[in-house]
């Protein structure tokens, strides 16, 4: 989670590091975060679509392994970097080295103990109606609009101008911070 619990605005993304749509959304979300600063709390929740993205699960687990070393967001940025995903075990080891993390801390089998975090995020998404990635929740409601800086900022700061763009988030997930 980036930002402060209780911030004026909240944005939750259910994403998959191998998803091209998540990769396209990442810089947009970064711009929104930069624009709103401390007024926004942002949480990324793992929703690896392993059936279609064979490296998504290992990337999600690597991010959680990096989180234990205090480097989730740095790993998150590297996993989404570049025009195409580079998420093999060799790529992930290289990212770990760039971040000063022992590579074995972010690759299987040492990451088995963080797999439950990824599974919890995925299950949270299923309960909240997530069917694909990226799925965004803006101020606790599912956002169904186009993922552009302008539209996300409008949805966050003024609410959606089109009622069909936002649905309620599952109450069981409202209390989970990321």
| Amino acid 70: pLDDT | 97
Whether 93 and 107 have beta carbons less than 8 Å apart is answered as yes
Rounded Cα distance between 101 and 88, Å, is: 17
| Amino acid 171: pLDDT | 42
| Amino acid 173: pLDDT | 47
Q: How confident is the model at residue 159 (pLDDT cuts 50, 70, 90)?
A: low
Mean pLDDT rounded to a whole number for the chain: 90
Burial class of 2 by CB neighbour count within 10 A (0 to 12, 13 to 18, 19+): middle
Q: How confident is the model at residue 154 (pLDDT cuts 50, 70, 90)?
A: very high
| Amino acid 109: pLDDT | 83
Q: How confident is the model at residue 108 (pLDDT cuts 50, 70, 90)?
A: confident
| Amino acid 158: pLDDT | 87
What is the percentage of the chain residues whose pLDDT exceeds 70?
89
pLDDT (mean) for 102-124: 92
Q: How confident is the model at residue 110 (pLDDT cuts 50, 70, 90)?
A: confident
Q: Please give the model's pTM, rounded to 2 decimal places.
A: 0.88
- Dihedral, CA of residue 165, residue 7, residue 25 and residue 133, to nearest 10: -60
- Does residue 136 sit in helix, strand or coil? strand
DSSP 8-class letter at 169 = P
Kindly tell me if the per-residue pLDDT of 164 is higher than 70.
no
Q: Is the peptide bond before 134 cis (omega within 30 degrees of 0)?
A: yes
- Does residue 43 sit in helix, strand or coil? strand
């Amino acid at each position: 989670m980036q930002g402060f619990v209780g911030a004026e605005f909240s944005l939750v993304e259910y994403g998959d590091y191998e998803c091209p749509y998540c990769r396209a959304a990442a810089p947009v979300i970064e711009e929104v975060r930069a624009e709103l600063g401390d007024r926004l709390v942002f949480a990324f929740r793992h929703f690896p679509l392993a059936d279609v993205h064979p490296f998504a699960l290992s990337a999600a687990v690597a991010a959680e392994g990096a989180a234990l070393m205090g480097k989730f967001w740095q790993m998150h940025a590297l996993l989404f970097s570049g025009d195409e995903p580079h998420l093999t075990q060799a790529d992930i080891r290289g990212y770990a080295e760039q971040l000063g993390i022992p590579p074995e801390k972010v690759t299987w089998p040492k990451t088995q103990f963080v797999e439950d975090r990824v599974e919890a995020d995925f299950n949270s998404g299923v309960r909240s109606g997530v069917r694909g990635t990226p799925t965004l929740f803006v101020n606790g409601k599912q956002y169904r609009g186009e993922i552009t800086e302008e539209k996300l900022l409008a949805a966050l700061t003024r609410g959606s101008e089109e009622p069909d763009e936002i649905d309620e988030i599952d109450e069981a997930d409202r209390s989970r911070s990321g």
